[in-house]
Chain A
Amino acid sequence: MPENCIYIARSSTIAARALAGEMMIMNSADSTFFTLNEVATAIFQAADGRTPLREIVRDRICEQFDVDPEQAQADAEQFVTELSGHGILLVSNQPLAPEAPR
């Protein structure tokens, strides 16, 4: 999948809330509980299914945090892959409709 075509959306199966700038996430399927740091929280909050990941990294990460753009993109892709594996993010090379509760 070309990296500039990655779209991400939050799964409707999870529970999530920001606590002092860090996102708490609970996956109801297996009750796994995660917290995301500020950078990961920014990516998660921008996961609207319509904005390409590269744009999220450029506008939300590189703009707000002092990071190397290439490193940020690589880290973001790894993070997205991990969260996708836990069923927290949906990943596609096509825009995704945000999931409503089923």
Chain B
Amino acid sequence: MSLMSEVGQKAFNLGIPIAVHMDVTYRCNERCVHCYLDHDDHGEMTTAEIKDVLDQLAEAGVFFLTFSGGEVFMRRDFFEIVEHARRLMFNVKIKTNAVMIHEEEARRIRELDIDTIQISIYSHRPEVHDAITKLPHSLERTVRSIRFLREQGLRVTIANVMMTVNSSDHTGVQKLAAELGAHYTLDPTITPMMDGDTSVLSLRIPGEELPDIFHNPALVANQEEFCAPPKPPSEEDLEGYSCSAGHSFCYISPYGDVFPCVQFPLPTGNVRQQKFLDIWNLSPQLKEVRSIQAKDLTVCSSCSHVTSCSRCPGLAYMEGSMRGPSTADCEKSFYRTGVPTANMQRLGLSKPRSTSGLSAPLIQIQPIAVPA
């Protein structure tokens, strides 16, 4: 186990929120076809409010802090926020489309000793990338910004969300990343919109195409192990928990709402009404999330994939139950290994029901009402 994993496990065991993802705005200068956010401003936290939350997070033991959005640079005070975070000695990562980063911004990011800048690129072809972002010349501008960041010696990760409209472009994006000296990651996850609209799920890669991704050694490093049939779970495995959401990680929205994860829209409290640590320690919702062990999962506890599945409790929650299966992850487990999941067997399916047309009732993210 690496030192980083050991520390993560220690934080998990102690219930310390070692990592937080904070969206500072949902406003954005792009209109990506797959985006799950409502880009209107419904009352973002002020600079002073965010600084106060950062003070509280430092006090609570948060070390890894990711700023995201929306587009973080839509906030004119973004550097002031990052400067405050760095003064509090957080390890800071930024997720951005980079369109608004020029030489001056790149220099400032380097001066603030930001750990990594993660930037979304959907295709190496401008006509495809720009059609996804709906911002003309966005690929050209993003690539130029990455060059500015790299000239400053900064670490850049190119995140390539894979969907139906760019499914053949990952090799081109990978080459572009190599040319720019950036790390490359690929993610086929598309999330329902915050208002419950599932139409964006039609952009998900059809399950039948997933094996080509999972069995591609250029995309999956330890492919043999990754695609191996699941091992039967031990009793100890069944005592285990899903992921760090709510255990050592949480998400804070631009309106101060606290959730177990950015992909887990279970409201647990609002930092405009309560201290962060009171929410973290006392929220009944977080306590419930933390209580769920593999043996408690309604379908997955009897599934052979239970220990190796990427089952996301947030996606399961959005499908109706945080203890239930996440159909998208069932699909991935099946197409990764060829072994049917318990959820498929329960439904009498020989292959997973397509998640691109998912019609399960969805729980919507609603900002928590804050008294004026």
Contacts and interface: CB of A to CB of B under 8 A. Distances in A.
A16 B89 contact: yes
A18 interface: yes
A13 interface: yes
B14 interface: yes
A12 B115 CA distance: 13
A26 to B, nearest CB: 5
A24 B115 contact: no
Nearest to B153: A29
B87 A17 contact: no
Interface string B58-94: 1001110000000000000000000100110111100
A84 to B, nearest CB: 17
Contacts, number: 60
A89 to B, nearest CB: 14
A33 B8 CA distance: 12
A17 B58 contact: yes
A101 B112 CA distance: 6
A16 B61 CA distance: 10
Contact of B112 (A20, A29, A34, A102): A102
A31 interface: yes
Interface in B1-43: 3-4, 7, 10-11, 14, 16, 18
B155 interface: yes
Contacts of B235: none
Contact of B11 (A14, A19, A31, A101): A19
B16 A19 contact: yes
B10 A19 contact: yes
A28 B115 CA distance: 5
Contacts of A13: 113
A69 B89 CA distance: 31
Q: What's the dominant secondary structure at chain A's contact region?
A: strand
Interface in B95-131: 111-115
B89 A24 contact: no
A102 B3 contact: no
A31 B155 contact: yes
Contacts of B3: 33-35
Contact of B4 (A12, A16, A20, A33): A33
Contact of B91 (A20, A28, A29): A28
Nearest to B89: A16
A43 B3 CA distance: 21
Contacts of A16: 89
28 contacts: A12-B113, A15-B89, A15-B91, A15-B92, A15-B113, A15-B115, A16-B89, A17-B58, A17-B63, A17-B90, A18-B61, A19-B14, A19-B16, A19-B18, A19-B63, A20-B16, A24-B63, A26-B91, A28-B113, A28-B114, A28-B115, A29-B113, A31-B115, A33-B3, A33-B7, A101-B83, A101-B113, A102-B112
The 7 closest A-B pairs by CB, nearest first: A15-B91, A17-B63, A101-B86, A28-B113, A102-B111, A13-B113, A16-B89
Given A26-B63, A102-B112, 19 more contacts: A12-B86, A13-B113, A14-B89, A15-B86, A15-B115, A17-B18, A17-B61, A17-B62, A17-B90, A19-B7, A19-B61, A26-B115, A28-B91, A31-B155, A34-B3, A35-B3, A101-B87, A101-B113, A102-B111
Interface of B: 3-4, 7, 10-11, 14, 16, 18, 58, 61-63, 83, 86-87, 89-92, 111-115, 155
